[in-house]
A and B are shown apart, each in its own frame.
Chain A
Amino acid sequence: MELIKVENVTKVYKTGTVETQALRGISLTIQSGEFLALVGPSGSGKTTLLQLLGCLDQPSSGKIYLNNKDVSQLNRNQRADIRRGTIGFIFQFFALIPTLTAYENVEMPLLLNGLSSTERRQRVTELLETVRMSNRAHYRPDQLSGGEQQRVAVARALATHPLLILADEPTANLDTENGKQVMEVMQRLNQETGTTFIFATHDPRLFGYAQRTIVLRDGQIVENSHASSTQK
């Protein structure tokens, strides 16, 4: 099933009089359930593309369909509504709310979706279990290691059963061991729940996790290749 369709999308950033062409005509389709890597040198447009796919921003031209719905022209509140139930984010920095515990951070997106408190408790407990953070549920982010924080962020991204999870260099601030753990958690969740994952990276160690790799350079796709076999 086709989850995302991108048609000839461009993105131009204007800073004062300077215009930066971050994306120059991107077209691609992404199937539901894919585990996809977005790679390319710094400044090639990975973050920009993720932000457009995640409805955090609007393209300068072109169309983006999410679940067959055109999301490229939506206003801010409409985009917030799409994000709320459909998309989860994982960032390079450990994007937890510092005043809330691990548990409360995971619970946060659920509060917006009107679940009962028992349903929420059940879901949060289950998610923390999945990312192996149950024993740290009531710690605040500053009491957790980077890897632990990132696993909580993965749990939070998954909380609302989103169709799509976007991870922008999720392991860039982690050591090899913690990076591996986070990637394995994401991969497992992709296989168990069928949630689509797209992650941006320029770390060659992560390329092997992807079923498909899209290579960007100067805002254009230069390579779009499926892994020969999914032996991971």
Chain B
Amino acid sequence: MHSIIKIAYRNLGRNRRRSFFSALALALGLALLLLMAAFLRGEINSALDYTIRLKSGHLQIRAPSYDETKTSLKWDDLIQDPQSLIAQVAALPQVKDATPRLYATAILVSQNKSIGVQVFGIDPQATANQPYRDGIVSGQFLTPDDREGLLLGQPLAQKLGLQTGNRVNLSVNTANGDVNEQVFIVRGIFSTGTNAFDNATILLPLAKAQAITQSDNHASVIFILLKDSRYTDQVANALANLPYKILTWQTMNDMIIQTEDMANAYMMIFYLIVLAITASVIVNTLIMAVFERMREIGILAAIGWRAREILLLFLAETALLTIIGIGLGLIIGLMIITYFSNHGFYIGNMGISGYLIGNMIYTELTFSDTLKLSLITLLITLIAGLYPAILAARLEPVNALHGSQ
């Protein structure tokens, strides 16, 4: 066995350039796969991260009858007197912040243009709302007692030609089904880095949102951020005895998680195509080697090598070439991925509705993806390498001895 590997190794050295380029083809294939996997992982994680920070939180408390898709404002569907509930939640050690939010639908009108938007009534002082505060690109953030100020997303402002200080007309649906109209002043413009959110969201101080929607001291949800997403189930269990619905980030973002599963399935097909191409390069190299070394195969057979040993020799050559290729591919792949994990990869406004993706994707390579892809590469190449190996092992010694040198 040892001698088979020794001979296999030396055989690769016989045509160094050919071996190198075959290994390089495999390396580039693997690097591409790693990059794709890291990109996908970065994209999904960024989508989850954005969604949790801006929209869903780790957990939400809602009234049992609250229907998110209808943005209902009926008092029965809302949480009454959220402050006492928040005090209870905030007392849990795993909770970083809990804050009430009131959601409403509205129409924003400016210079004959009108656009449907989501109104987020938020507590401007809550730490959970820091991402919005950080996103301010012009003007000021809200203050709790502001009665005529609002914030709007940058793309929305651009669409309506609005700037900080401008006036804008907002028609808000109210708890009893009416529409309340008021002129607001644009206090500031924010950009969270995800187009899908910034395109359709208006921020108001909670008190003003409650007033204009006539929902009194009610909130649509309690938005909860945890110190770590690992605590989600613990905290959800701790809150289970409340007369409310507790939703975790997983259930609220099942679409992202499903998208990831689907993307992984598609990626598998992509992986197999790339690997089929690289494997065929290796197989081609080995088929050439079999024909060039016919006579040598005959000599080995004459010495008493069995078919199985000749098979192993060529498989060992495939394996060595593949391992070199994988090593090279890991180096190339890791270099590219490290670059994009630091500098990001600009994808622009690829926002799909309901799915918050940042404009920059930072690649994330996990150890398990690396291991999985390396092993799949090895496995597929070895399976493909069976063909030249069987070709060599099937040669009749007599014919092989007649073959070319």
Contacts and interface: CB of A to CB of B under 8 A. Distances in A.
Interface of A: 51, 54, 56-57, 76-77, 80-81, 83-85, 89, 91, 93, 95-100, 108-109, 111-112, 156
Contacts, number: 64
B405 A93 contact: yes
| Majority secondary structure of chain B interface residues (helix, strand, loop or mixed) | helix
B88 interface: no
A99 B401 contact: no
A51 B398 contact: yes
B397 A112 contact: no
A97 B299 contact: yes
Given A56-B398, A97-B300, 12 more contacts: A56-B397, A57-B397, A83-B302, A84-B304, A95-B299, A97-B299, A99-B7, A100-B7, A108-B303, A109-B304, A112-B309, A156-B303
A95 B299 CA distance: 7
Interface residues of B, number: 24
A20 to B, nearest CB: 14
Contacts of B13: 99
Nearest to B14: A99
B301 interface: yes
Contacts of A112: 303-305, 309
Contact of B307 (A54, A76, A99): A76
A95 B7 contact: no
Contacts of A85: 304
B120 to A, nearest CB: 72
A89 B295 CA distance: 13
For A56, A93, A99, A109, the residue with the greatest tally of chain B CB atoms inside 10 Å of its CB is A99
B116 to A, nearest CB: 74
A89 B305 contact: no
B233 interface: no
B10 interface: yes
A99 B11 contact: yes
A98 B7 contact: no
A168 to B, nearest CB: 9
Interface in B1-30: 3, 7, 10-11, 13-14
Contacts of A111: 3
A218 to B, nearest CB: 20
B69 to A, nearest CB: 71
5 contacts: A77-B308, A81-B306, A83-B301, A83-B304, A97-B296
Contacts of B296: 97-98
Contact of A56 (B11, B14, B295, B302): B302
Contacts of A95: 295, 299, 302
B396 interface: yes
B303 A83 contact: yes
Interface in B123-167: none
Nearest to A160: B304
B10 A100 contact: yes
Contacts of A83: 301-304
Contact of A108 (B3, B14, B295): B3
A130 B96 CA distance: 86
A231 B59 CA distance: 105
B307 A77 contact: yes
Contacts of B11: 99
A94 to B, nearest CB: 10
A226 B307 CA distance: 40
A84 B302 CA distance: 8
A112 B3 CA distance: 9
Contacts of B299: 89, 91, 95-97
A82 to B, nearest CB: 8
Nearest to B10: A99
Contacts of A108: 3, 303
Contacts of B7: 97, 99-100
A104 B188 CA distance: 81
Contacts of A76: 306-307, 396
Contact of B304 (A51, A80, A98, A100): A80
Contacts of A109: 303-304
A97 B302 CA distance: 12
B295 to A, nearest CB: 7
A87 B40 CA distance: 61
B293 to A, nearest CB: 9
Contact of B306 (A51, A80, A98, A99): A80
A56 B301 CA distance: 8
Contacts of A56: 301-302, 397-398, 401
A97 B293 CA distance: 10
A76 B301 CA distance: 10
For B305, B396, B397, the residue with the greatest tally of chain A CB atoms inside 10 Å of its CB is B397
A217 B308 CA distance: 38
B401 to A, nearest CB: 7
Contacts of A54: 302
Which 4 A-B residue pairings sit nearest by Cβ, starting from the closest? A84-B304, A99-B10, A83-B304, A89-B302
Nearest to A99: B10
Contacts of A91: 299, 401
A80 B14 CA distance: 27
A77 B306 contact: yes
A51 B305 CA distance: 16
B6 to A, nearest CB: 8
A98 B289 CA distance: 14
Contacts of A80: 301, 304-307
Interface string B392-405: 00001110010001
